[in-house]
Structure formats: C-alpha cells, structure tokens
Chain A
Amino acid sequence: MKSSADRILDYALGRHFSMEPTIDLSERIAQRWAEGEGGSLQPDELQALGSSTKPKAIRGGHRTGLGHWRGWILAAACLLLLWAAAALLPTAPRLVSDPGPAQPRPWQVQLSEPIDLYRGPESKALRSSTILAGDTLFMAETSPELSLGAGLTLTARGPALFSIERLHGALQIAPLAGELTLAGQPGLAWALNGVALSFEAPSRLSLQLAGSFSPAPRDWTPSGVLAFLREEREADQALLLMLTSGQLGRGIGDNANLLGTGEELILVGGEVLSEEVWRRAQGLIRDIAPSGPGDMVAANYWSPERAREQSQQFAEMIAEEPALWGVLGAALRGRARQGVLNPRFAMALLDLLIYGEEPRAREQARSLWMTDPAAFNPRQVVAMASFGYFEFQRELEAQWALAGEQDWEGLPYAIYAGMEGDARGEQLLDHALRNPEERTLASGEFGLAALALESLGESGAWDLVQDPFEAAFEAALLAGELTRAQQVVLQVEALAALRREPGGKAWVQIFRLATGPLPTKEFSDESSASLRQRLDLALGG
C-alpha cells in the first residue's frame, strides 16, 4: 500500500505530465441545477456530512410540486432498494466511512492494572473503556511494564476471533466468545512496553505486541542473566528480545535508553560467548552512560569513527563464534523493521559484513536488503553485485540507468560497469579522475576509476592518479596525520596489485580499505615503494 506522500507524488506527476485538457463543467452543472436536478446524496446523508442547515428536500433552482414529489419518491425507492439489498446480502462489507448509524460497540477493556491506555497521543487515559471498531489503543511509553499476570481483561459481547501476534511468529490464535483474560505464566513477567492494542473490526480483534514479548530472568545481575541464558532454550533469542525491550538495559544499571543503538548486538555476542566478553560489553555501556539514565546516546555519539570502532569490536567477538551471524542478522532485521536501526552503525556493520571474508556474513547483509534497502550505500550495492547476488545486480542496473553523467553518486556503478567493459560511464570516470576531490580520493573510487578507464582502453589513466595520491600523502604527513598517510600508501599498493592482476573481485577490497580499519596485510609494489619508505621513516621504522 502506498503512503499518502507517495500518492500525492503520483497525483502530482500525473498532473504534471497530463496532456489532456480539463473540461470545464461549470456550465453543465449550473444547467442541471437550474433544471431541478440534485446530487445523489439524500438530505439526511448531507446533514450527516456536516451541512449546517437543513438540506433542501426539494432539489433544484426552480421548485415545483412535481419536483417535490419526485424527490421523495426517488428517496423512498432508494431506501427500499437499499433495504432489499441489505436483506439479500446480510454480510456485505460496509465501508468504514459509510455515514450509516453508529455500530454497536462490541468490546470492553477492563484494566485491572493501574496502567494508562490512550485512544490517541493527545487523548485522556482510559482505565476501563468500550472500544469502537477501528480503534487502536496506545500505551504510553512512560508507562510501567504491564504485568499480564495481574491481568488485562478483554470482553467481547459476541463471537469474534482473538489473536495475539508477537515478534517471532504467532503466539496464540483462539476463537473467542465471551470474555478472555490474558494472564502471565507463573514466574514470568511479560514486557509489554510500546504495545498497541488494535481493534480492527467488530468481527476481529488483534492484540499486536509491537516491541517485545519475552520471558525475563529474575536475577538481573550479570551472573544472574548469564545463568538464565545458559539454562533457557533459545536463550540468544530471548536475550535479543530483552535487549530490544530495554529490560536488560534496566537490569544491568538503568541503561534503558540504550535502545536504538548497536550495543545490544555487542551484548548478544558477549552474553553467549564468555564472561570476559560480557565484561567488555559492560565496559562499553559504562563508557556510554557513566551517570545513569538520560539522553545518553546522543546522535553525535555515533560518529562514523565510533560506529566503525563498535562494529569492529563486535566483529572480533563474533569471529569467535560464527554461528552468531544468524543472531546478528535477526537483530539487524528486527531493528530495521521497527525503524530503529541506527544508520551509521548499520552502514559500518554492513561494511564489515560485505567486505570481509565470511560468506555467512554476506548472507546476513543480503537478508537485510529485503528489509531495509535504504541502509545500503552505492559501494555496498556494487560490492554485493560483484559477489553475484542477483537482487543487487538488478539494483545496480536500475541505479546505473538513473545516474547522470556528472552524478558522483553514480561513480561506483560507473566503475563496476567500466570494469565489466561497459563504456557508458566513461565520461563520469574521466570527470572523476580530473576532479580528485578529497571525498573521492579517500573513498577509493578515485583510483578505481583510473583502473576502470584503463580497462576501457585509456592507457594514460593510471598516470593521472599518481600526483593526487602523492599530494594527499604529503598533506597527511605535513599535518602529522600518519594514519591517513598510511591509508594513502595502502590504497596505492592495493591498486597497483589489482592493476597487475585484474579480474576477480579483489577490487572490492579497495572499498574495504576506504571504509574499514587498515588491514595488517600490505601490498608491496614498486610504484609505491618510495611512499612506503617515507611512511616507514615517518612512523619511526
């Protein structure tokens, strides 16, 4: 279903491109009105729609006795027809906006817990209320946990279908006639923060647990949580759910506001792996939130560098237990579905998943594509396409068709196409080479553009990259930024290696070089030997 913004754009595009002249109906309408015609809505319908005064039972500009009776006869005939249709089709669906009489209210919610439910963000709290068809009730985010052990009673005054949906599959679907009380199981608290109770129609009620639905450990100390994880079946999933709901955050030190960041992933890895990793994860939390709850994870916290660092730490942990790639994928997708996936963290993590050596990691990236394609940048799309994933190749094809000749965003696609022998991007590649902006240079695309052009037959392309790289190296040395200088050298070395042995997918590593931590493996090459020598000198080697 399209969003209202999409529909507006569709409408506006239709209007913009439409060649059809608009017919002026004013004369025709005035004429029909003058001849005594009225619209097809009945007076009571018009009044129900908000006519401030009593609508004219007799329609038309010139009233006649005939017009008067004709109107009533038509109205009576319509009513008879409607009645007959209703009798013949008792189950015909009614439109929500049909201005018919109000439907009986079939649902009664009785809250036996002192928790506030709202009809809408600005309405008053309900403690016991009758629910209209189509109503959705909200629980305030600040509400305490609703313990279903204490009970939430839903009463139906007629046969209906009651369903509970939870994050991971249906929990319960039961026919309901009469009263149903949701009750927790002994020893388990049910976290329902952020829940939306949705009453869709008289014949169907669904309770959607939007955020979380998880058993929780009784002991919130780290050792208690760990014991719980070791004992519980599907402990990793339970932990994920707890983290998603913020319970674990509260349990380990009032850090509920960690929701929406990437720490939970680190915690998941830490939890299931070892106490050592768990301690590291705790350290991370203390690092972020040294003084208790509050606005602890500001947007600025997730700088690109910090996101890389965090995702790298996570990758190191998960490398010890590759089976957790699946847990990571589930967590990423879950957060993406909820719209709380931090884009910087996601981008950094995707770099690791895609540019690394682990095929299972790439599979997780691929599965995220189905949920949240917006999380991917062009380089990641290109890299995934180069690994042969058809959906990314399709996306690449579409994006490449969209890219303009001077469109920097299209550069990765032009590189890919150029290396595949497609010369359509030649102009863009040439443009990139002759405009070595800092961004392009650092991203690895600059050098790759040279290689792509060279593979298209531009023999002098490689020479064009020498000076900008040299200049960037000098500038980094002068500024004392040795890491940046090292990155330049590594780029040149990697590019030179790729130039010696073209083909394959090794060039994806150039992107990795530009986005991830510096690799320990170095590419020795004569063309960068002098840079390497000077770098070693600068590093004191």
Chain B
Amino acid sequence: MSKQSTHQVEQFVKCHQGSVRGFLSFMGCGRDRLDDLVQDVFLSFLAANFEDRGEKATRAFLRRIARNLYLKALERERRQPKMLNPELLESAWVEFESDDAGDGYLDALRVCLGGLRGRALEVLRLRYAESIQLIPLAARLGLSESGVKSILVRTKGKLRDCVDRRVGA
C-alpha cells in the first residue's frame, strides 16, 4: 500500500480490523489494550510499505506484526505469555478463519449451542456473556466450584466435538 489516501487507509482497516482484533484476542490480549494494539498494528503495517502480494500474504503479515507487538507488550510488563507455541496458535487461527473469516465455525457453534439446554447453557452464558469468574458463578448457581468447572469442561468438550463434526462435514 503505497501513497495511500485517507479513504484507502480507512477501507483497508475496515476490511482487516476484525481479523486483527480477533487474532489478538485469540492470542490472549485483554480488552484493556486491544484497541491500542489494533491501531499500532495497522500503523506499523502502513509504515512497512508492504508490497501487495494478495490477501493471504497481507493477512499473514498483519498477523506477524500483531503477534510481535503483543509479545513486546507482554515483555515490557515482564509477563510471560500464557500461550502455546505461537506458530501452532497461528496455524490454528488460520484454520479457524479459513476463507470466511471464521463464519463457518461460528455458524456451526451457533447450531451446537442450540442443542444445549438447562444448566450447561446457563453456565456458558454467565461465563462468556457476563464474564463471571468461577467462584461467584458457582455461588450464584448453588454449585461447588469444581462442579461448575466440570460442567464447563464437559460442555465445551461436547461443543468441540459437535463443531468439529459440522465443520468437517
């Protein structure tokens, strides 16, 4: 992207910001710094004078920048990244995004979630929609912490199998 107009930059960011934001979240980046990092990623990308070699290469380069900036941010804070091998993570992300920005996976997940009922669904909703930690969540449902943990593990196991079947089908 050389000699970009403001409009071109805006269009470019609109096109890729979801992917960059998602990738950073997936790597473990918290909401508190997510927006700053996304901006930094795009500004670094623009400064890199990256030669356009197609969508795939552009996304890959954006991911490399994002990963690097995130790790640097952690390093500045003297925090160890809580992540698997970054290359493994990235390849999992690429598989998730596929050609549809992850919509296929999310659609499958939606269907699988539709099959859940009762307490399992409630636990998931409280955990992910309201970000309630395990101990208060257990207290709210009148369960033990380990009980909630078991429900989460089992439910997610079922969901993963269900999504894998649907995505693979």
CB distance B69 to A402 under 8 Å? no
Q: Does B139 contact A (CB under 8 A)?
A: no
Complex Cα–Cα for A394 and B146 (A): 8
Q: Does A37 contact B (CB under 8 A)?
A: yes
Q: Does A24 contact B (CB under 8 A)?
A: yes
Q: Does B65 contact A (CB under 8 A)?
A: yes
Q: Does B133 contact A (CB under 8 A)?
A: no
Residues facing A in B90-149 (CB within 8 A) are: 91-93, 96, 102, 105-106, 109-110, 113, 117-120, 124-125, 128-129, 143-144, 146-147
- Size of the A side of the interface (Cβ < 8 Å), in residues, is 67
CB distance B128 to A22 under 8 Å? no
| 3 closest Cβ pairs, A-B complex | A39-B44, A398-B150, A4-B92
CB distance A398 to B125 under 8 Å? no
Set A30, A41, A53: member contacting B68, Cβ < 8 A: A41
Residues in chain B near residue A22, CB distance under 8 A: 18, 21
Set A2, A8, A25, A61: member contacting B105, Cβ < 8 A: A8
Knowing that A15-B106, A41-B47 touch, tell me 5 more A-B residue pairs with CB under 8 angstroms: A16-B109, A23-B35, A29-B42, A401-B118, A402-B158
CB distance B4 to A55 under 8 Å? no
Please classify the interface of chain B as helix (H, G, I), strand (E, B), loop, or mixed, using the class held by over half of its residues: helix
CB distance A99 to B68 under 8 Å? yes
CB distance B150 to A12 under 8 Å? no
With A16-B106, A56-B49, A402-B154 given, is the CB distance from A93 to B43 under 8 Å? Answer: no
Q: Does B59 contact A (CB under 8 A)?
A: no
CB distance A4 to B44 under 8 Å? no
Set A34, A92, A97: member contacting B71, Cβ < 8 A: A97
Set B45, B47, B118: member contacting A404, Cβ < 8 A: B118
Task: From A2, A7, A22, A99, name the one whose CB has the most chain B CB atoms within 10 angstroms.
Answer: A7
Complex Cα–Cα for A39 and B37 (A): 9
- A10-35 vs B: 1/0 string, CB under 8 Å? 11111111110011111111111110
CB distance B64 to A55 under 8 Å? no
Complex Cα–Cα for A18 and B124 (A): 12
Complex Cα–Cα for A23 and B86 (A): 26
Complex Cα–Cα for A32 and B14 (A): 15
Residues in chain B near residue A404, CB distance under 8 A: 117-118
CB distance B9 to A95 under 8 Å? no
Q: Does A299 contact B (CB under 8 A)?
A: no
Q: Does A1 contact B (CB under 8 A)?
A: yes
CB distance A14 to B25 under 8 Å? yes
